[in-house]
């Protein structure tokens, strides 16, 4: 699957790419403070507390709040073809279609963590149907992880999510990724950044799909 993809083990973004992702991160942070997202997140964390904490009343449940912004620099809109949620809760849906830029949000208790992936399809600059896959995770056990693939859509016909999970686990300790495919001219670069406070972790995921 996606054998033509080249994922760089030690990624160094250009100053322009980093500036672009940093600017997108501002929008990702704003997603997390919208009242709709805040209320949904409070309800999920409150339910987790009720179901898992019985002996200690009034304890504060530490949580992870992730805001994501995805950007397409492809010929046309991208379609969310598949997704995977191993852990966590999505409180703001993935953009579908992804016309130029769109955001989503996820939340979880720090104990459970977040682990998810998206697979978008669309045409590259030559009109070839292609696929872009992005996976990410953050928890006490894994730390922040991110992984990407891109290639012809046909090479993703049977996505092995177990294999993607293993590749995500084995990704570098720096949560930055870049994938490229010389055959299709597609690429994807992304960054997962976070701030850890006493009872709250605030994450931003930004990614750019090219082709």
Query: pLDDT by residue (tens digit) across 168-194?
Result: 999 988 899 999 999 999 999 999 999
Residue 137: inside a domain: yes
Find the distance separating the first CA and the last CA of the chain, reported in whole Å.
19
The answer to whether the pTM exceeds 0.75 is: yes
**Rounded to whole angstroms, how far apart are CA atoms 142 and 139?**
5
Name the strands in the sheet holding 143-152, side by side, starting at the edge strand that comes first in the sequence: 79-87, 114-123, 129-139, 143-152
Q: What is the pLDDT of residue 26?
A: 93
Q: What is the pLDDT of residue 197?
A: 83
Write out the residue range of the structural domain in which residue 195 sits: 63-210
CATH number at residue 189: 2.60.270.20
Number of structural domains found in the chain: 1
Residue 37: inside a domain: no
């Amino acid at each position: 699957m996606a054998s033509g993809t080249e994922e760089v083990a030690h990624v160094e973004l250009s100053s322009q790419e980093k500036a672009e992702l940093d600017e997108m991160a501002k929008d990702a942070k704003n997603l997390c403070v919208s009242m709709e997202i805040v209320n949904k997140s409070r309800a999920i964390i409150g339910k987790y507390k009720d179901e898992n904490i019985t002996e200690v009343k009034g304890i504060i449940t530490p949580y992870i709040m992730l805001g994501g912004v995805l950007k397409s620099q492809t010929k046309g809109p991208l379609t969310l073809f598949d997704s995977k949620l191993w852990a966590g809760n999505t409180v703001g849906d993935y953009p579908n279609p992804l016309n130029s830029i769109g955001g989503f949000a996820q939340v979880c208790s720090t104990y459970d963590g977040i682990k998810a992936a998206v697979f978008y399809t669309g045409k590259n600059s030559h009109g070839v149907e292609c696929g872009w896959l992005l996976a990410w995770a953050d928890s006490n056990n894994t730390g922040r992880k991110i992984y990407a693939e891109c290639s012809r859509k046909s090479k993703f016909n049977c996505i092995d999510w177990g294999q993607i999970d293993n590749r995500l686990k084995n990704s570098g300790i720096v949560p930055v990724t870049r994938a490229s495919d010389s055959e299709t001219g597609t690429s994807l670069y992304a960054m997962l950044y976070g701030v850890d406070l006493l009872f709250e972790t605030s994450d931003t995921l930004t990614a750019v799909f090219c082709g």
